Structure 1
């Protein structure tokens, strides 16, 4: 009997160690690299910039030649590899970025210093995508000397991270790009539509992503769709967006639920900070809206998933070694 209890206890310890090591493996290496490597801000310039435009863009990004030394160029070949597209010399890359680390107590911020030239992507779309990429606290500055969509700037962020040693998974890159594409498409196609508001969409997405993180990878498509539709309804967007637009969000959320991104220890906390920041800046936009809406309510049972698995393990070994 003592031997049986010893085996039971040892097995539980092994299972515990496995679960802890699995959780540790999901630690956000992207943020670790930013914290440890970005002693100076890192600049990534688009390949298509002329020398004069490079100088202009660096100035817009706040470049200080007396101390800043980390300046890179995103080439078409690097862009093609990052975005998994064909290398085409005709690719036009103008959007440029600066990434600098912040203290862990600060939040993720994005500033577009040339909003008139970034025509399709808003700062909060960049922030939402950056959270999905695994960035928790950093300052990202975006600029372009001519009018461009701004979608390729995300590739500049990937490039900076990877060049500094971060292991950005293809999964994370694909998800962030899918999210940015979905948000920018929905925003562009709903400009001027009665009842539409980009701030509400971005906040709704933080709630959706947080609910997906709560539910984990056992969510069904029906559960994810319910989360999306209930959340959009809470923010007054369900009847504003088209069925195709809602499906774009559902597909992204479902892909996110199956990814390792949601296992990062700081993922939900960063989403909460992002939501608070958008709401604070938008002021009266969220008047009479329930900001405490629980998007995960429809998948409440999923929250106890791992606890349930653990209890089943305990019960199993108790049966054999009781």
Structure 2
């Protein structure tokens, strides 16, 4: 009995230390932004010509007083994205990151929206939260038409060059999230019942529910969270089953990660949701913004449990 208690106590201490380690690792990203980004940091795409660099820097608001410029090379991109280095890769998306005051929130400004063809500001914001950013102002620009997906790699590069230690799973999840959101939005842009902002807000709720449920969530639980949330936002009729599966897979990967242990993760998601809704005008007027996906799972489990108890009681009565 004594050894049993010792082992249990040791397990609790080990689990607590692991959780604390994850929280510190994730929160460290924001600490680096707050302490290191005294001046804005700029990361330029490798493929820009000298003329395009000048144009891009002007769009990003660069001046000679700011710190030294960085360039996202194909080798740096390959290392960050864990892919083979391809010298023919075209990298044009460029970013500026600057810190905000304590009352600031997470902002993304695409100054060349006509040239960022697949990724919206809110998609970048959602992915940045998954990456571990709580508050910062990110500006994205490209002198020619590009999808905009490589700009996220520029954000990673800037953070890591300034001392942030970003877990591989954070980077992989953020990239998976951005790619999933961008592809689904592109495939559904002409559908009447689809809206990219609704999908972004739905995803904040899904991520919130996954963080609340933790690693104990089953695949079935996550499927219910995703399906019920998409239905709440009226997206279930416009999205295909394969698109919904992509969201489920992302949420399942998220549930198994240390990202959800970040103490600020849920509060940052809540702020992002409120910001998107506030900027969207009347878009969410007919939507239940207080929808709780986890509550619907508990109701479903309780309903099934009640049925099971009724079945047991029925057969007990027959025996008696």
| TM-score by shorter chain over 0.5 | yes
Q: Whole-Å Cα distance in 1 between the matches of residues 245 and 105 of structure 2?
A: 30
Q: Secondary structure at the match of 1:106?
A: coil
Q: Secondary structure at the match of 1:241?
A: coil
Q: Whole-Å Cα distance in 1 between the matches of residues 105 and 229 of structure 2?
A: 24
How far off its partner does 1:103 sit? 1.9
Is contact 1:38–1:100 with CA below 8 Å preserved after alignment? Answer: yes
Within-5 A mapping of 1:1-322: 18=14, 20-26=16-22, 27=24, 28-65=27-64, 67-300=65-298
How far off its partner does 1:77 sit? 0.4
Map Cα deviations across residues 34-79 of structure 1 (whole Å, 9 max, x no partner): 11111111100000001111111111011121x2013100000000
Map Cα deviations across residues 153-182 of structure 1 (whole Å, 9 max, x no partner): 000001001111111111111100000010
Is contact 1:223–1:298 with CA below 8 Å preserved after alignment? Answer: no
Q: Whole-Å Cα distance in 2 between the matches of residues 19 and 37 of structure 1?
A: 31
How far off its partner does 1:210 sit? 0.3
Q: Whole-Å Cα distance in 2 between the matches of residues 270 and 233 of structure 1?
A: 24
Q: Which runs of 5+ in 2 are unaligned?
A: 300-320
Residues 31 and 20 (structure 1 numbering): CA distance in 2 closer, same or farther, change over 3 Å?
Answer: same
Q: Whole-Å Cα distance in 2 between the matches of residues 185 and 288 of structure 1?
A: 26
Q: Whole-Å Cα distance in 1 between the matches of residues 271 and 162 of structure 2?
A: 26
The number of residue pairs the alignment matches comes to: 294
Q: Whole-Å Cα distance in 2 between the matches of residues 105 and 233 of structure 1?
A: 34
Instruction: Say what the alpha-carbon RMSD is for the aligned residues.
Output: 1.8
Q: Secondary structure at the match of 2:283?
A: helix
Is contact 1:42–1:160 with CA below 8 Å preserved after alignment? Answer: yes
Is contact 2:224–2:297 with CA below 8 Å preserved after alignment? Answer: no
Is contact 2:118–2:182 with CA below 8 Å preserved after alignment? Answer: yes
Q: Secondary structure at the match of 2:103?
A: coil
